[in-house]
Amino acid sequence: MENKNKNFKDVIRKEYVKCAQDPVYFLKKYSFIQHPIKGKIPFHLYDFQEKTVDQFNQNRLNVILKARQLGISTLTAGYSLWMMTFHQDKNILVIATKQEVAKNLVTKVRVMHSNLPKWLKQPCVEDNKLSLRYKNGSQIKAVSSGEDSGRSEALSLLILDEAAFIDKIDGIWAAASQTLSTGGQCIALSTPNGVGNWFHRTWMDAEDHLNDFNFIKLHWTVHPDRGQEWRDEQDKLLGPSLAAQECDCDFITSGQTVIDGVILEECRTNTVIEPIEKRGIDSNVWVWEPPNYTKDYIVCADVSRGDSSDYSAFHILDIENLEQVAEYKGRMSTRDYGNLLVNMATEYNNALLVIENNNIGWATIQQVIDRGYENLFYMSKDLQVVDVHRQINNKINRMEKGLVPGFTLTSKTRPLVIAKLEEFFREKSVIVRSQRLIDELFVFIYNGSRAEAMRGYNDDLVMSFSMGLWIRETALRLKAEGIELQKKAISGINSHQGVYTPEVNDNNSWTMEVKKQKESLEWLI
């Protein structure tokens, strides 16, 4: 009897050592998962799953670009269980878009733990919905995204579940990476969600060997039970764009970017160049082309709200060909920003200076007025755009009834401005030089019906650029159609309509609509 017990203990000891040395063996032989239909079933790993676990074990940092429903979250849970079971004092943190999502991964660990044989199962000292802690000091905990997530944690393993969708992940990684620097691991897994975000940048840098991440791509075809019939069905269920994201690991067609990702990639390749000069104390004034005194320019500026996440930004555009010639993105006082705008606008041939007048923008506008800058943009209180050509030529009467300095971005004008942005990019009629602007456009998405930066990112350059395109188009469309200045100036004849409304489209350029009545202007000929 003693020999039998001894042999049994020897078998268990050898089996324990084998499991401790090989996480794939441990998961294949002793892990169970909860199937939604079949209930408790053994976790039979596919070949691609075995290879993925091996890479987890061999590499400290892993970024995984994956198709949907490949069981990678479950696989990550299994690897976490192995680490906790066979190592002391391992601290594992799961961060996801929502606490509920992070909790699901902890639940998978708990299910696997509960089904281990007694001789493998570590005793628990804490077991709740959000955490599981063993007597050996190892634990796993789930939290939702937040910039402080992982800041004070001494982490052995950080799991970023659906990393491309996590809010404020740049701040999370900046904080957590410090705690990993002594040897901790990271597994960042996700389907794509557009480009320009932390997950996309990390993946691209990993592919180019610009960071320390091991990159793993799991296309839908890695699953042995899926063929073209399954893929075609996904197109029907999800639509082509979402299916490309969820199945094909396609960054460019993923996400809900306002500007098509393919167009932005073309801009990045064909028009984006390094500035010829970087000015200012912080070197944030980028110049691609010095002023040409035969050209007209427009300066369009957004003013920081004053919080730590917001920037002031402006662009200088060649009015005629819509080429970006200069740009600024940075933080400075409203007074200093006003002075900078005046100096740049003056340098570029007394350019038309357009400043958003929301909130703190008024302080910057006041500084511009105090400096006596003559070519400041004014608009009517009913939010229609004043005939800008008169302003470009310094012929606007600031005392005209109903005019206010600056541009007002409201719920009425914002969608129009963004629609104009999308139109110019779609028609490829704008020349973008700035990589900073392209980066912002890659994370400028539709959040429901509202276009805005993805949470945790900025859209200051995007909005100032959009505003400039809107005003340029509104003011100068007639010029493109060959209509002389004399005809444009007629927009100010009627005291009740001191604005030019480009929506009126009449084949007879010598008529205009006044109070919904056609009025002949042939007497001017």
Q: Specify the higher pLDDT residue, 394 or 289.
A: 289
Q: Is residue 524 part of a domain?
A: no
What number is the average pLDDT over the span 157-164? 92
Contact 130/161 with Cβ under 8 angstroms? no
Among the ranges given (176-180, 419-423, 430-434), the one the predictor scored with the smallest mean pLDDT:
176-180
Q: Is residue 508 part of a domain?
A: no
Residue 307 is inside which H or E element, if any?
A: none
Residue 316: the pLDDT is 96
DSSP state letter for 16: H
Residue 391: the pLDDT is 57
If you write DSSP's letter for every residue of 148-169 in order, what string do you get?
Answer: TTTSS---SEEEEETGGG-TTH
Residues 186-230: pLDDT tens digits?
Answer: 999 999 887 778 898 899 899 989 999 999 999 999 999 999 999
- Does 483 score more than 50 pLDDT? no
Q: 440: helix, coil or strand?
A: helix
What number is the average pLDDT over the span 374-384? 74
Residue 248: the pLDDT is 86
Q: 344: helix, coil or strand?
A: helix
- Does 289 score more than 70 pLDDT? yes
Residue 524: the pLDDT is 44
Residue 382: the pLDDT is 58
Instruction: Point out the domain boundary residue: 481, 501, 518.
Output: 481
Q: Specify the higher pLDDT residue, 524 or 462.
A: 462
Structural domain for 136, as ranges: 2-246
Same domain assignment for residues 234 and 285:
no
Q: Is residue 155 part of a domain?
A: yes
Residue 490: the pLDDT is 36
Residue 491: pLDDT band by 50, 70, 90 thresholds?
very low
Buried residues in 180-193 as b, exposed as e (16+ CB within 10 A): beeebbbbbbbbbb
Among the ranges given (9-13, 142-146, 367-371), the one the predictor scored with the smallest mean pLDDT:
142-146
End-to-end CA distance of the chain: 119
Q: Is residue 496 part of a domain?
A: no
Domain tally, the chain: 2
Same domain assignment for residues 341 and 238:
no
Same domain assignment for residues 237 and 365:
no
Same domain assignment for residues 267 and 238:
no
CA–CA distance, 385 with 449 (Å, rounded to integer): 24
The number of CA neighbours under 13 Å toward the Cβ of 468 is 31
Residues 303-312: pLDDT tens digits?
Answer: 987 655 679 9
Q: Two tokens at 123?
A: 């005793």
Q: Which amino acid is at 30?
A: Y
Instruction: Point out the domain boundary residue: 481, 504, 520.
Output: 481
Among the ranges given (200-214, 383-397, 431-445), the one the predictor scored with the smallest mean pLDDT:
383-397
Q: Going by C-beta distance under 8 Å and a sequence separation of 6 or more, which residues neighbour residue 60?
A: 180, 183, 184, 185, 186, 212
Helix axes 47-58, 72-86, angle to 10 degrees: 50
Same domain assignment for residues 228 and 270:
no
What number is the average pLDDT over the span 339-349? 94
- Does 46 score more than 90 pLDDT? yes
CA–CA distance, 295 with 351 (Å, rounded to integer): 10
If you write DSSP's letter for every residue of 28-43 in order, what string do you get?
Answer: HHH-EEEETTTEEEE-
The number of CA neighbours under 13 Å toward the Cβ of 285 is 15
Same domain assignment for residues 118 and 235:
yes
DSSP state letter for 376: B
Q: Is residue 55 part of a domain?
A: yes
Q: Is residue 221 part of a domain?
A: yes
Same domain assignment for residues 27 and 146:
yes
Residue 445: the pLDDT is 84
Residue length of the chain: 525
- Does 68 score more than 80 pLDDT? yes
Nearest to 297 by CA among 378, 375, 409, 387: 375
What number is the average pLDDT over the span 144-173? 80
Report the CATH number that the domain containing residue 196 is assigned in CATH: 3.40.50.300
Report the CATH number that the domain containing residue 280 is assigned in CATH: 3.30.420.240
Query: How much is the pTM?
Result: 0.63
CA–CA distance, 212 with 206 (Å, rounded to integer): 7
Same domain assignment for residues 271 and 219:
no
Q: Is residue 362 part of a domain?
A: yes
Burial classification of residue 161, based on how many CB atoms lie within 10 Å of its CB (0-12 exposed, 13-18 middle, 19 or more buried) = buried
CA–CA distance, 215 with 209 (Å, rounded to integer): 10
- Does 486 score more than 50 pLDDT? no
Q: Going by C-beta distance under 8 Å and a sequence separation of 6 or more, which residues neighbour residue 446?
A: 256, 257, 258
Nearest to 286 by CA among 309, 316, 310, 266: 316
Instruction: Point out the domain boundary residue: 183, 216, 246.
Output: 246
Same domain assignment for residues 238 and 296:
no
Q: Which amino acid is at 329?
A: K
Q: Two tokens at 151?
A: 């800041």
Same domain assignment for residues 234 and 328:
no
Same domain assignment for residues 440 and 477:
yes
Q: Is residue 255 part of a domain?
A: no
Q: Going by C-beta distance under 8 Å and a sequence separation of 6 or more, which residues neighbour residue 464?
A: 300, 301, 302, 313, 314, 315, 356
Same domain assignment for residues 398 and 338:
yes
Q: Going by C-beta distance under 8 Å and a sequence separation of 6 or more, which residues neighbour residue 424?
A: 322, 430, 469, 473
Residue 139: the pLDDT is 94
Task: Give me the helices (H) in 348-445, please.
Answer: 361-370, 388-392, 413-426, 435-442
Contact 214/206 with Cβ under 8 angstroms? yes
Residue 480: the pLDDT is 47
Q: Specify the higher pLDDT residue, 16 or 487.
A: 16
The number of CA neighbours under 13 Å toward the Cβ of 121 is 15
Mean pLDDT of the chain: 82
Nearest to 192 by CA among 244, 154, 258, 138: 244
